[in-house]
Amino acid sequence: MKKTILLVAAVIFVNLATAQIKVSGKVTSSEDGAPVPYANILVKGVRGVGATTDLDGVYSFDNLSRDAVLVISYIGYVSQEVPVNGRSIVNITLDVDSRALDEVMVVAYGTATRGTFTGSAAVVKSDIIKDIPSASFESMLQGKVPGLKWSPGSGQAGSSVNMRIRGTGSMNAGNEPLYVIDGVPVIQGNVSNLSMVSFNIMNTLNPTDIETFTVLKDAAASALYGSRAANGVILITTKKGKEGRLKINFKSTLGFTPSFAYNNWELPTPEQQREIYYDVYYNQYLDDGKTPSEAAAHAQSIMDTNLPLDTRGFFDWEDALLRTALYQNYDLNLSGADENTNYFTSFAYMREEGRVATNNMDRITGRLNVSKKILKNLELKTNISIAAVKKDGFNDTYNNNTNYFLNLRNQFFGEYWPTYIDGSPNTSRYKSYAYNYLYYDDLQENYSKMFRTTLNETIKWTIIPGLVASTLFSYDLTRVDDHNYYSPLHHRGSASNGTVSEISNKYQKMVSSSTINYNKVFKGKHILNFLAGFEVESNNTDYILANGTNLPNAFSNTIITAGATTSEGYSWGNRLVSLLSKLEYSYNDKYYVSSSFRRDGSSRFGANTRWGNFWSVAGSWRMKNEEFLKNINWITNLRVKGSYGVNGTLPSSNYGHQALYSYGYNYLESPGGVVTSVADPDLSWETNYTFNIGFESSFFDERLAFNAEFFNRDSKNLLQDVEISRITGFSTILTNFGAMNNKGVELDLSGDIVRNADWQWNVGINASFINSKVSKLYGGADIIWYDPTGGDKQAQFLYSEGKSPMSFWGKEWAGVDPETGNGMFYMNNDKPGDGTYNGRAITYNASNATNVITGCSDPDVFGGINTSLRWKDLSLDMNFSYSLGGDIYNAFERYVNDDGYFSNRTRAAKVVNRWKKPGDITDVPRITYEAVYSFFSHTSRWLYKNNYIRLKDISLSYNLPSGLLKKVNFSNIRVFASATNLWTLASQDYFDPEGNVYGVQSWQMPIGKTITFGLDITF
């Protein structure tokens, strides 16, 4: 019996053996011909037999049936079945799966497939923004990422911007997301030391060098960045070469900004302006009890004195001070790759002018990204970038000595001429106290120069297939040199016979990060991924200031020429040490779970609170891959996901936990020191608890896609500057106390309305509904706070439990009394006031009324509408952004619609429609020099409903037919035209509806409308 069995077995074995052959081959990608490592190769119908390609994409089977069918699969590629047909070498080319849900995206410390990623993240590819003229990339994300809100700081070239991801989660510690470029957290924000001129460090990154953005929104996506991730993370990946021969690309863009994007308190005609001016003084005398003829004589005499007509007519200040700004950008990049080497280099020059003649930004950037396999399993990668950026700017704050826009709208009468009749320049102040820029601009210099080099060095060692150790070292050196010079003839230099300041800031950031990653597929169904790492980060800033006064002549602009000099300098910084880990598991492409853990130690805290733990758990279920949906072909994808986790925010203060004693408070040329801070030694990071549920679906082979996410973000232990009695010598102490909550829904719907060989038309719309509220404050006490931009408390807000953090706080405007023309405010207290209106007590003087919450700058919904239309080689892309609901506060209107109080200033066209006689129904009160000061209070008179939609960018491009190109040896030539902010529809027509991040619009330079033309050539 035994023999029989053995015999049968032997026969079968021999039979099989005779049918077996040895098969090997190489798997490459159809896109660039590069080998595909780690591809899975199974044999159809045979259990337990399989292979994985090595780093060169090579696989082999020793014993394979001659008629076996190989099933090759790899993430990001379309799976293929290939019959062996007796061949011993079977080379396979895998097609890239262009489906969005199979796209590989960069995530925290690695990559993931979009369709399987458990966290909440959005990817923006640089293709769709490549033609938009902008010095920095941030504005391009507006309207394209649900939950992300971008705000311009100023229309000045080079200014810094603000981003908010999923609302406002902090009062004190910053709300900006963390920026990570090629795996390294980078220096971000404003780096200039010139007062009130911001200079965005992201200007050093050439948008053309960017391949993709990934915006990480929930804890599962971002918790690996731990104590810095609560406000979301923006991952930026720069370009690399594509397999194939050397590719040379040259792109040139020229553009111009002829006007602002929207109205900005347009002026009335000079004649109307004179009429308003006259009324101010005429009404003053009537208010003083004088007769109309006395009033007329008084007003006329003041007109004759203060606003005499010039024989040359009216001077056009707008025309003299604003220009059609030019934009130019030249990009040259070389890239390529073969099996072992990958390179991308770029060199670019950009010049962006502001509409004010003194505002320009010049930039030269260069980049070299190289990776090289020095051994089969050892890869070295170097990214080097260099940027030199210069910004010439001007002070954007409320300052009637420096702010051009403010002066144009509020201080330059057409009667003022820059020269006297004899042609000599007017060097004295005008009656409105404005200075003559056309004279003074040549007597000053005000610029920042930024020089940045970054060096990232990565070594990646594949120890065995699936186990990869990698270590990264990054060094970022940014040097910012500010130069500020006023000639002795300049009004700002005359008091000290000329001044010149040089301020140097050297920012150094070092990051060392080492990770080990293990990826294993068990039994073809279980995929396990484990990552562990260690990271150290050190930041240091060296600051030096040299200041000189008493200059020898009107043109010496360097310190050495100064008769008196002072200097100062010191350094500060912070450090972070972290351990991190991530574990992911998936089963059969259906169930995914992941978790992450990071432990951060920060120098910003004392020994008690230094270390913090941050973690997340997440899961997703890919329903489409279940048996019951697998065969429903019109459903392409169906998935739900959820996550919960904790991440944090570090305080903006480096040393907030310790009471410091600082030097530099000198006296009699001897050193002096003072206690500069009072501290809470138990100060800690802010903690965010984020819960996220997402639903993803696509249908009809991805022609229609719909995604929805719900999130709840509880921010606790918020750092709060708690007001303390000034008798202590301090005004506030930084303490962890407050709490806020943001919850919201993000919807994203897109569809290919037309999809055929010649025509493709895609439309996408996204909408974010975010509800923010303050949930806890110290002692339950409300906190009044002010918009910190502009430097003069331009808008007043209230943090109050249960209310939005963006609640405007002030007096409630009741309108203009039709009988008297006075502005009215509701009392909102139990005092009687000056009368009643709409059945409520009102007062003519805002200071008698009680503050209430008058509105809120949070929109009900905001988002974008994006469409792209292609016909053969012609394509048209449009991106709209919109915002509905919510209020915007105009802090400038109190100057340009001041009821006559600031008598010697110009007023907006709106004032033409002022109250003039009893019965007039208007929202502009009667003007008089005796005006009650109410217009200067924070009131809802300056609050507007803010609904708008704006065509952020539009671009039209045409690829020259390839047949033609082959003759001239170009691989591609593309011509394009694009425009930003071309069209805006808003619920008010006085000022630009895209306010700052607090929902305030003011006297900062408005943003412009830019039109560009470009040529893009690839060899």
Partner 1 sequence: MKKLLSIIFCISVFFLSSCDEFLELTPTNSIVASKALTTVNEATVAMNGIYNRITYSNYYGQRMTKYADMRGGDLYVPSNGRSDDSFFLFNHEESRNNYGTMWDVIYKVIMLCNNVIENIENGNVTTTTSAQEAALNDVKGQALAIRALAHFDLLRLYSLPYLKSGAPSSLGVPIATRVIAAQEKLIRNTVEDVYTQIISDLTTAIPILKNAKSNGRINQYGAKAVLARVYLYKGDYDNAYTQATEIINSNVYTLYTSANWVNSWKSAFGSESIFELSISTSDATNLGNSSLTSFYAPMYYNSAFLAGAVASDQYLNLLAEDPEDVRWGVMDLDEYGNPIRNPTRSIPGRKGWIKKYMGDKSDAISATNVKIVRLSEVYLIAAEASLKKTTSNKTAAVSYLNAIRSRAVSLPPASSSASDEALETLILNERSKELIAEGHRFFDLMRLGKTIIFDDPASKFNEPILVTNGRGLTVTWNFEKIILPISDYERNANPTIQQNPGYE
DSSP for 235-256?
Answer: EEEE----BEEEEEEEEEEEEE
Contact status: 544 vs partner 1 (CB under 8 A): no
**Site for partner 1, residues 95 to 134, rule: CB under 8 A:** none
Q: Determine phi and psi for 302, rounding to 5 degrees.
A: -70, -40
Burial class (CB in 10 A: 0-12, 13-18, 19+), 265: buried
* HEC profile of 666-733: CECCECCEEECCCCCCCCCCEEEEEEEEEEEEEECCCCEEEEEEEEEEEEEEEEEEEECCHHHCCCEE
Q: Which of 230, 932, 954, 979 binds partner 1 (CB under 8 A)?
A: 932
Quick note: the x/- pattern for partner 1 over 500-519, rule CB under 8 A, is --------------x-x---
Contact status: 860 vs partner 1 (CB under 8 A): no
Taking the C-alpha atoms of residue 688 and residue 229, their distance in angstroms, rounded to an integer, is 9
Q: Which of 26, 66, 575, 916 binds partner 1 (CB under 8 A)?
A: 575
CA triplet 838, 840, 843: central angle to 5 degrees?
105
Contact status: 850 vs partner 1 (CB under 8 A): no
Q: Which two tokens stand for residue 545?
A: 């200031």
Contact status: 930 vs partner 1 (CB under 8 A): yes
Residue with tokens 């090595």: 54
Contact status: 731 vs partner 1 (CB under 8 A): yes
Contact status: 435 vs partner 1 (CB under 8 A): yes
CA dist 707 → 639, 702, 901 (Å): 10, 12, 54
Q: Please give the single-letter amino acid code of residue 860.
A: D
Consecutive H or E run containing 962: helix 962-968
Q: Which of 421, 727, 757, 968 binds partner 1 (CB under 8 A)?
A: 727
Contact status: 809 vs partner 1 (CB under 8 A): no
Beta carbon nearer to partner 1, 272 or 676? 676
Eight-class DSSP state of 419: B
Beta carbon nearer to partner 1, 671 or 963? 671
Contact status: 564 vs partner 1 (CB under 8 A): yes
Q: Which of 492, 894, 907, 910 binds partner 1 (CB under 8 A)?
A: 492
Q: Look at residues 128, 101, 336 and name the one whose alpha carbon lies nearest to residue 213.
A: 128
Q: Which of 467, 749, 754, 763 binds partner 1 (CB under 8 A)?
A: 467
Least distance in angstroms from the C-beta of 660 to partner 1: 4
Contact status: 419 vs partner 1 (CB under 8 A): no
CA dist 542 → 473, 479, 513, 516, 573 (Å): 21, 9, 24, 34, 9
Contact status: 8 vs partner 1 (CB under 8 A): no
Eight-class DSSP state of 403: -
Contact status: 243 vs partner 1 (CB under 8 A): no
Q: Which two tokens stand for residue 495?
A: 């008091």
Contact status: 902 vs partner 1 (CB under 8 A): yes
DSSP for 514-526?
Answer: EEEEEEEEETTTE
Taking the C-alpha atoms of residue 921 and residue 887, their distance in angstroms, rounded to an integer, is 23
Taking the C-alpha atoms of residue 863 and residue 884, their distance in angstroms, rounded to an integer, is 9
Contact status: 838 vs partner 1 (CB under 8 A): no
How would you classify residue 290: left for phi > 0, otherwise alpha for psi between -120 and 50, otherwise beta? beta
Contact status: 206 vs partner 1 (CB under 8 A): no
* Region near partner 1 per CB under 8 A, out of 378-386, 562-570, 959-967, 968-976: 562-570
* Region near partner 1 per CB under 8 A, out of 139-147, 231-239, 861-869, 930-938: 930-938
Taking the C-alpha atoms of residue 143 and residue 141, their distance in angstroms, rounded to an integer, is 6
Q: Which of 73, 574, 652, 829 binds partner 1 (CB under 8 A)?
A: 574
Least distance in angstroms from the C-beta of 653 to partner 1: 11
Contact status: 428 vs partner 1 (CB under 8 A): yes
Q: Which of 7, 8, 19, 675 binds partner 1 (CB under 8 A)?
A: 675
The stretches of 491-545 forming alpha helices (DSSP H) are none
**Residue 912: helix, strand or coil by DSSP?**
helix
Contacts of 839 (CB under 8 A, 6+ apart): none
Least distance in angstroms from the C-beta of 382 to partner 1: 23
Contact status: 775 vs partner 1 (CB under 8 A): no
Eight-class DSSP state of 401: T
Beta carbon nearer to partner 1, 668 or 921? 668
Beta carbon nearer to partner 1, 421 or 921? 421
Contact status: 726 vs partner 1 (CB under 8 A): yes
Contact status: 463 vs partner 1 (CB under 8 A): yes
Beta carbon nearer to partner 1, 18 or 428? 428
Residue with tokens 């003839």: 489
Contact status: 302 vs partner 1 (CB under 8 A): yes
Contact status: 83 vs partner 1 (CB under 8 A): no
CA dist 597 → 365, 533, 679, 708 (Å): 37, 10, 30, 26
Beta carbon nearer to partner 1, 459 or 693? 459
Q: Which of 237, 358, 557, 903 binds partner 1 (CB under 8 A)?
A: 903
**Count of positions on this chain that bind partner 1 (CB under 8 A):** 86
Beta carbon nearer to partner 1, 95 or 304? 304
CA triplet 284, 287, 290: central angle to 5 degrees?
90
* Region near partner 1 per CB under 8 A, out of 101-109, 264-272, 529-537, 767-775: 529-537
CA triplet 798, 799, 803: central angle to 5 degrees?
100
Quick note: the x/- pattern for partner 1 over 649-668, rule CB under 8 A, is -----xx--xxxxxxxxxxx
Contact status: 681 vs partner 1 (CB under 8 A): no
Contacts of 177 (CB under 8 A, 6+ apart): 163, 165, 215, 231, 232, 233, 234
Q: Which of 672, 788, 832, 961 binds partner 1 (CB under 8 A)?
A: 672
Beta carbon nearer to partner 1, 642 or 900? 900
Quick note: the x/- pattern for partner 1 over 606-645, rule CB under 8 A, is -x--x-----------------------------------
**364 close to 349: Cβ distance less than 8 angstroms:** yes
Contact status: 671 vs partner 1 (CB under 8 A): yes
Contact status: 465 vs partner 1 (CB under 8 A): no
Contact status: 429 vs partner 1 (CB under 8 A): yes
Least distance in angstroms from the C-beta of 243 to partner 1: 30
Taking the C-alpha atoms of residue 823 and residue 925, their distance in angstroms, rounded to an integer, is 6
Contact status: 793 vs partner 1 (CB under 8 A): no
Q: Which two tokens stand for residue 512?
A: 């060392």
**Site for partner 1, residues 388 to 407, rule: CB under 8 A:** none
Angle between helices 270-287 and 292-306 (to 10 degrees): 130
Task: Outline where DSSP puts E strands in 603-634.
Answer: 611-622
Contact status: 733 vs partner 1 (CB under 8 A): yes
Beta carbon nearer to partner 1, 677 or 771? 677
**Site for partner 1, residues 327 to 386, rule: CB under 8 A:** none
Q: Which of 573, 815, 818, 885 binds partner 1 (CB under 8 A)?
A: 573
Strand-strand pairing, 1000-1001 and 887-890:
parallel
* Region near partner 1 per CB under 8 A, out of 88-96, 318-326, 603-611, 911-919: 603-611
